[in-house]
């Protein structure tokens, strides 16, 4: 049975409340193994008269940069409820004007060329990809939105090739559904920040933890899934214990070990999401029984670091993170906290799982290797910038020119370490930065807004009764050699 017919029957058999739920329905169809094309349809539950605008993201959430995802969209079309084809006009930027005055846009369709995307986007972690027996879709790389409807609830219907498992981080489960899957998203951001996996080469396992934890692994070489699963479980447990509460019902860790598409392609970055973390590495970096203890420790920290970002800044953030601006990378003045403090939190969380002396030694060695040593290698002009200015520069080129990223997270990490040390000393070990960050996450959930830099000392003092304003002000200033 053709994939499109299977999807139609699947949707029609859904209970009516489920089918009517939400203002928007997204339908994704990947019809044949190894195909380069993904078909996407967006249906508006209540079409209104007038023009609509389809927008494709360019900015990458937590990517501190942009990718030309609109370049890979083809055959964009729009239809009225009657099936009548409506006018489509490509505009400046990643936009398409749909319909005209008096028209009712009810359905939008387009195709995404996944092979073109993977060829032209050189950062492996920023691209979706298709293989003869595997498909991975980053939501924001393939799913556009209708301007003005970003906050509407969304139903998603996914159809894959015959007998292929279909998995979504929005509603993870093992074993995965076969051929088709229906899930829901609270809004466009939640949908765009999710991932979809298909195919028999996607190895899935559930790991019992604070909340259901899932590992999805695809490797184009030898990889030890059990070993990786153990590290993921330990890292998640430590980070969840550190923050004291888990603000999501489930979590997925996606790992891909890939043979480089070309010498120019790189696979060395992780990415954080609301309910998941995704990692891309070259196939040579996959964990095996021969992997050294040092590399295992580095991988465990790497995983913990990106898991921590699902608290900070995904749920506790400075100005510029939310509401997210999809067409242009936002200028953000607190990357030093989002990256530096979250990385320090991951270090401290892992140290908490060790005997006291061993944990203290681990924490100090990581502060040295991750922050101090890194900062010593950075050029003077970056260290001599005010930290807020450097953060704004890194907002658009964090990984593109990783000197900016390294400098900003190292200065933030050392600020976090100094604050933590003072909190421990002043309270005789009763309070620490962990308490301040827990309180910051609670504050963000209560206030439902971004914190401002000048508010941080007060928030931290409410949590610990320790003054840190002078430390903040010192690290915000240009560094002195």
Segment 55-85, tens digit of pLDDT: 999 999 888 999 999 999 999 999 999 999 9
pLDDT mean over 312-319: 97
Label each residue of the chain as H, E or C. Answer: CCHHHHHHHHHHCCCHHHHHCCCEEEEEECCCCCCCEEEEEEEECCCCECCEEEECCCECCCCCCECCHHHHEEEEEEECCCCCEECEEECCCCEEEECCCCCECCEEEEEEEHHHHHHHCCEHHHCCEEECCEEEEEHHHHCCEECCCCCCCEEEEEECCCCCEEEECCCCCCCCEECEEEEEECCHHHHHCCEEEECCCCEEEEECCCCCEEEEEEECCCCCHHHHHHHHHHHHHHHHHHHCCCCCCCEEEEEEEECCCCCCCECCCEEECCCEEEEEEEHHHCCCCCCCHHHHHHHHHHHHHHHHCCCCCCCCCECCCCCCCCCCCCCCCCHHHHHHHHHHHHHHHHHHCCCHHHHHHHHHHHHHHHHHHHHHCCCHHHHCCCHHHHHHHHHHHCCCCHHHHHHHHHHHHHHHHHHHHHHHHHCCCCCCHHHHHHHHHHHHHHHCCCECHHHHHHHHHHHHCCCCHHHHHHHHCCCCC
pLDDT, position 372: 98
Segment 427-446, tens digit of pLDDT: 999 999 999 999 999 999 99
Q: What is the pTM of this model?
A: 0.93
Q: What are phi and psi of 154, to 5 degrees?
A: -135, 135
pLDDT, position 16: 40
pLDDT, position 151: 96
Segment 351-399, tens digit of pLDDT: 999 999 999 999 999 999 999 999 999 999 999 999 999 999 999 999 8
Percent of the chain with pLDDT over 90: 91
Residues 294-332 as b or e (16 or more Cβ within 10 Å = b): eeeeebbbbbbbbbbbbbbbbbbbbebbbebebeebbeb
Q: Kindly list the structural domains of the chain, giving each domain's residue range(s) and its CATH number in brackets, ordered by start.
A: 3-199 (2.60.40.3650), 202-310 (1.10.390.10), 312-481 (1.10.390.10)
pLDDT mean over 81-102: 96
Q: Using pLDDT thresholds of 50, 70 and 90, give the confidence band for residue 8.
A: very low
pLDDT mean over 189-218: 97
pLDDT, position 46: 83
Question: Is pLDDT of 172 > 70?
Answer: yes
Question: Is pLDDT of 106 > 50?
Answer: yes
Question: Is pLDDT of 5 > 70?
Answer: no
Question: Is pLDDT of 21 > 80?
Answer: no
pLDDT, position 2: 52
Q: Using pLDDT thresholds of 50, 70 and 90, give the confidence band for residue 480.
A: confident
Question: Is pLDDT of 154 > 70?
Answer: yes
């Amino acid at each position: 049975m053709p994939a499109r017919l299977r999807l139609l029957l699947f949707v029609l058999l859904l209970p009516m409340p489920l089918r009517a739920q939400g203002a928007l329905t997204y339908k994704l169809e990947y019809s044949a193994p190894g195909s380069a094309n993904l078909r996407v349809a967006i249906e508006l539950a209540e079409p209104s008269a007038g023009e609509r605008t389809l927008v494709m993201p360019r900015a990458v959430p937590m990517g501190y940069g942009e990718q030309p995802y609109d370049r890979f969209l083809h055959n964009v079309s729009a239809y009225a409820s009657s099936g009548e084809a409506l006018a489509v006009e490509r505009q400046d930027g990643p936009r398409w004007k749909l319909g005209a005055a008096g028209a009712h846009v009810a359905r939008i369709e387009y195709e995404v060329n996944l092979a073109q995307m993977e060829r032209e986007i050189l950062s492996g972690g920023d691209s979706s990809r298709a293989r003869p027996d595997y498909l991975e879709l980053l939501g924001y790389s393939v799913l556009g939105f209708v301007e003005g409807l970003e906050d509407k609830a969304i139903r998603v219907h996914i159809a894959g090739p015959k007998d292929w498992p279909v998995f979504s981080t929005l509603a993870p489960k093992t074993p995965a559904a076969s051929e088709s899957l229906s899930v829901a998203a609270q809004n466009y951001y939640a949908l765009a920040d999710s991932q979809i996996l298909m195919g028999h080469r996607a190895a899935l396992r559930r790991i019992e933890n604070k909340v259901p934890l899932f590992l999805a692994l695809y490797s184009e070489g030898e990889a030890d899934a059990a070993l990786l699963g153990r590290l993921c479980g330990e890292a998640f447990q430590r980070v969840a214990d550190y923050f004291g509460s888990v603000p999501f019902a489930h979590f997925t860790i996606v790992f891909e070990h890939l043979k480089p598409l070309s010498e120019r392609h790189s696979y060395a970055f992780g990415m954080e999401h609301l309910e998941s973390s995704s990692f891309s590495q070259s196939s040579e970096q996959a964990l095996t029984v021969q992997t050294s203890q040092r590399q295992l420790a580095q991988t465990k920290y790497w995983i913990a670091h990106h898991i921590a970002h699902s608290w900070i800044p995904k749920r506790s953030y400075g100005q510029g993170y939310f509401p997210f601006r999809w067409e242009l990378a936002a200028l953000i003045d607190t990357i030093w906290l989002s990256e530096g403090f979250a990385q320090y939190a991951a270090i401290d969380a892992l140290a908490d799982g060790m005997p006291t002396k061993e944990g203290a030694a681990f924490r100090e060695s990581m502060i040295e290797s991750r922050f101090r040593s890194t900062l010593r290698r950075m050029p003077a002009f970056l260290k001599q910038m005010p930290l807020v200015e450097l953060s704004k520069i890194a907002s658009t080129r964090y990984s593109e020119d990783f000197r900016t990223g390294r400098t900003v997270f190292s200065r933030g990490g050392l600020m976090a370490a100094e604050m933590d040390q003072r909190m421990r000393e002043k309270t005789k070990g009763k309070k620490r930065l962990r308490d301040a960050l827990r309180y910051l996450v609670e504050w963000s959930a209560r206030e439902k807004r971004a914190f401002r830099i000048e508010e941080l000392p007060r928030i931290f003092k409410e949590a610990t009764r320790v003054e840190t304003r002078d430390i903040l002000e010192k690290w915000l200033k240009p560094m002195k050699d």
